[in-house]
Amino acid sequence: MQETTIAILGAGAWGIALADLATENSHRVRLWSRSGSTTLEAVLKDTQIVLSAISMKGVSDVASQVQAFPLSPETIFVTATKGLDPKTTCTPSQIWQTAFPHHPVVVLSGPNLSKEIQKSLPAATVVASHDTAAAELVQLVFSSPRFRVYTNSDPVGVELGGTLKNIMAIAAGVCDGLHLGTNAKAALVTRGLAEIIRIGNAWGAKPETFYGLSGLGDLLATCNSPLSRNYQVGYQMASGQTLTEILANLQGTAEGVNTCHVLMQRAKQQNITIPITEQVYRLLQGDVTPRQALEELMLRDIKPEYDY
């Protein structure tokens, strides 16, 4: 395909991994970070794609900064951030779409541990948008023999799958940290998926999206890999460390911690039952121990499996 100029906002491990994929496909890539020497204006000049790989806490501020610079009406925004805004409970794509209502916004999400991608290990992801042409263009930009990209027309479902699995990864880390075994882990992840689908239904997502790469795929990857920062939070809490100690020594951001707090607010407003998220929240708040959180889940009222 024709060479595309791409501005990648966020020079962390994920932003760099995506930059490498696009560069290998002979596209012109410009990286921007708050601590870098290149200005945002220079990075954005004449770009066809603006990809945001910044942490959730910086999305609103950076989106506002980008508004100050002229962009082509054809510019596509891609968001690769997984989280929820603490002030508005909005997803990253909703923030970008509000800032740029006349531009297509594409969500990129999947089982994509950046360290594995940087090692050129095979992976797959999903790009989702209401604008089919925009999603297909982004698909072409990042697809390669080692990185398979699928399209999807349910951006909110794709985005929520990648966001909510971080909470379940904390719970999975606790499960492994307590050495509870394979049966317990399988039950936790399966019921975690049911909880994610329940939330997705309330937010207008398609249930089938959560059985795809950005839902079940990302859930399996993040709940089973020590490379996941969210998994590490749960594992280390089960080993007796405090959340403050863990976050102080963690390389990068464990988005699940903030997501859990925001989701509790949203679930109360919409009256959504989220038992696993609730116990993770209580654990992060210091209200229960990892063992007590498990007992609370096991002692819930018995019910039919699909009565959710």
Q: Does the active-site annotation cover 165?
A: yes
d(CA 261, CA 148): 33
Query: Angle formed by the axes of helices 155-177 and 229-238, to 10°?
Result: 30
119, 165, 185, 206: the catalytic one is 165
CB 8 within 8 A of CB 32: yes
CA angle 209, 106, 45 (to 5 degrees): 165
- Beta bridge partners, 107, equal 79, 128
For the chain, the C-alpha Rg in angstroms (whole number) is 19
Dihedral sign computed on CA atoms, order 270, 273, 275, 277: negative
CB 31 within 8 A of CB 8: yes
The set of catalytic residues is 165
